Amino acid sequence: MNKSTLIRYKNEFFDTILRIGVKINLPFSFLSILINQQPRHLYSWVSLDSIKDFVPNIVLEDLFSPLEVRKPNVKDFIWCGDWDVQTKSIQKFYSDYSIAYRSILQIFDEGIDYKSSDEYKKLLNEIEKDGSSVRAKSRKELDEYFENLLILKKDLEKNGYKTKEDLKGKKSDEIGVFVGRDGSIIKAEDNFSGTHRFAIAKVLGISKVFVKIIAVHEIWAQKNLRVLVRSLSTQEIQSR
């Protein structure tokens, strides 16, 4: 039996246990353990206007400790705590926290050259100082990265918003969000993918975007357990 068969069998096995568990009313504490033992993300189209707030990385530090708050370090899918009520307005504060978001606004809203944007200057400084950055290993690669952002904006204007899968990219690189206890869709500050795409969509006033749901609050999960379990089987969840 090859690896893909094992993974598929494991998913079907867990899906079956979860569905049976919900049907016979097993305790949520038990079912949540099963869900967290099989980490995966849910994907969905959501209204861009419904994403009004973001959660700063500093708020999530205790959940990730001792690891850094970033995509590869997500341990569980169901999160407890008050992180979802310690959010900030995207419109008022996101530019102060996310250099990627701020730089997209600088380039496309303010009309400055991308080489004068905060993110470009920061990454170029890292390349000159350390020999590489998170986006590129040379000035040429960095220019290509930002040129691709210009191309992305033109493509979104012409063809509308498409999923990374449609664009032959990594599905894991969709816009990263969380679901709060009240069902609200909350943007991740950064380090969870998709911030540039999110910002360009905001600039263009696009109505719907495709998101990756990284985690949900335990209160929401408990109230919507049947929806959640069904979604885990289909890999899609409806925004509320």
pLDDT at 172: 66
Beta-strand ranges (E) seen in 56-115 are 78-79, 88-89
Residue 5 has pLDDT above 80, yes or no: no
Q: Which residue has better confidence, 35 or 148?
A: 148
Q: Which of 13-17, 30-34, 158-162, 204-208 has the lowest mean pLDDT?
A: 13-17
Render pLDDT for 115-138 as a digit per residue (tens, 0 to 9): 999 999 999 999 999 888 888 899
Contact criterion met (CB below 8 Å) for 186 and 84: yes
Q: What span, in angstroms and rounded, lies between the C-alpha atoms of 203 and 75? A: 33
> Which tokens sit at 202?
């905001």
pLDDT at 169: 64
Of all residues in the chain, the percent with pLDDT exceeding 70 is 86
How many angstroms separate the Cα of 203 from the Cα of each of 14, 107, 169, 185?
41, 10, 22, 19
Residue 22 has pLDDT above 90, yes or no: no
pLDDT at 23: 75
Q: Please give the mean pLDDT across all residues of the chain.
A: 86
pLDDT band for position 2 (cuts 50, 70, 90): very low
> Which tokens sit at 191?
């380090």
Average of per-residue pLDDT across 203-218: 94
Residue 240 has pLDDT above 50, yes or no: no
> Please, what sign has the CA dihedral across residues 230, 233, 237, 238?
negative
pTM of the full predicted structure? Answer: 0.84
Q: What span, in angstroms and rounded, lies between the C-alpha atoms of 104 and 110? A: 9
List the domain boundaries for the chain.
1-38, 39-234
Residue 55 has pLDDT above 80, yes or no: yes
pLDDT at 102: 97
> Which tokens sit at 81?
């705590």
Q: Which residue has better confidence, 55 or 32?
A: 55
**159: part of which helix (H) or strand (E)?**
helix 139-159
Q: Is the omega angle on the peptide bond into residue 72 within 30 degrees of 0, that is, cis?
A: no
Average of per-residue pLDDT across 84-105: 96
pLDDT at 171: 63
